[in-house]
Amino acid sequence: LTPVVLELGGKCPVVVDSDTNLQVTAKRIIVGKWGCNSGQTCVAPDYIITTKDYASKLVDALKHDLEQFYGKNPLESEYMSRVVNSNHFSRLTRLLDEDKVSGKIVHGGERDEKTLKIAPTILLDVPRDSLIVNEEIFGPLLPIVIVDKVEDSLDFINSSGGKPLAAYLFTNNKKLKEQFVATVSAGGLVVNDIALHLAVHTLPFGGVGESGMGSYHGKFSFDAFSHKKAVLYRSFAGEAPLRYPPYSKGKLRLMKAIFAGSIFGIISALLGWSKA
């Protein structure tokens, strides 16, 4: 058998706390989502989770920077990638046109089937039972899920039915960072940026559960595809009679004590004191 590493997909969440640098946060989300092949990468943000009170500020910041980066007509921008093929264009259109979702668009939504381009699209407060929340998007659509308090986002991620390949958090709150790292099960975590862990060769990259198994990058790649061969050299000295028949209760007591790591048990067994 040949060793394998499976780096699969998943819905990569972005948690945005109100205690953050909003201007930097918006820019980093944009470049991680739309700047990296219009969301068609395995670690691109799939959806955002934030609070109701903070959502409008985040949307405004995203809108402002999207126009700065891609202009008022992003379909004509040379910096916007197209959707990879017509099948995926149709799939993304289906997600966007679902009845319960189409009215949630707060930015973008324009598309051109001839060029296979879809403008950066933000959807606010999408229903949790919608297709766009439950299927991997892998495209330029970015829904925002609303929670009452930011800590609820961790429960949402863990109850979403799959472990993501990557999960992201933007916050200055030290306690929230610790909760995020301790609570969220994902292939990799990044605090206050998007996808940069891929560029750090001293970090393993890979999935967990539905998002894959094993890891690679740097030394982790070498270890993943190498067989660690065990070799033990012994001398002919140090023979232990308890290894060989005939076996007795005394030998059994001594063996149990050795495996238990009990010095007192070993001494007792050797002296014949133990009744166990």
Question: Of the candidates 3, 1, 8, which has an alpha carbon nearest to the alpha carbon of residue 207?
Answer: 8
| 39, two tokens | 């969301």
Distance from C-alpha of 276 to C-alpha of 266, rounded to nearest angstrom: 12
Calculate mean pLDDT across residues 196-208.
95
Domain that holds residue 266: 241-271
Q: Give the per-residue pLDDT at 133.
A: 95
Global pTM value: 0.87
Per the domain annotation, does 155 fall within a domain? yes
Exposed e or buried b for every residue in 242-258, given b needs 16+ CB within 10 A?
A: eeeeeeeeebebbbebe
Q: Residue 40 falls within a domain, yes or no?
A: yes
Residues 37-90 pLDDT 10s: 999 999 999 999 999 999 999 999 999 999 999 999 999 999 999 999 999 999
Q: Domain count for the chain, please give it.
A: 2
| CB 11 within 8 Å of CB 162 | yes
Residue spans of beta strands (DSSP E) within 155-216: 166-170, 188-191, 212-213
Find the CATH number of the domain harbouring 163.
3.40.309.10
Q: Please check the confidence at residue 274 and state whether its pLDDT lies above 70.
A: no
Of 205, 202, 276, 185, the C-alpha closest to 43 is 205
Q: Would residue 12 show up in a list of annotated catalytic residues for this protein?
A: no
| Same domain for 255 and 196 | no
Within a domain: 229: no
- Segment 201-216 shows an average pLDDT of 94
Is 57 exposed, middle or buried, given 0-12, 13-18 or 19+ CB atoms closer than 10 A? Answer: middle
